[in-house]
Amino acid sequence: MLLNDSARACCGPKHVEVGHEEYMATQTLLITDDPFRNADIPTRRKLAHLVKSVKDSGGTARIFSSMHVSGGQLALYSGIAAVLRFPLPDLEHIEV
Compute the distance between CA of residue 44 and CA of residue 10 in angstroms, rounded to an integer. Answer: 20
**pLDDT tens for residues 61-94?**
999 999 999 999 999 989 999 999 999 988 877 7
Confidence of residue 96 (pLDDT cuts 50, 70, 90): low
pLDDT score at 89: 85
Task: Describe the crossing of helices 13-21 and 41-56 by its angle, rounded to 10 degrees.
Answer: 40
Q: Across the chain, what does the average pLDDT equal?
A: 91
Dihedrals φ, ψ of 19, to 5°? Answer: -60, -35
CB 20 within 8 A of CB 14: no
- Write down the pTM of the prediction: 0.91
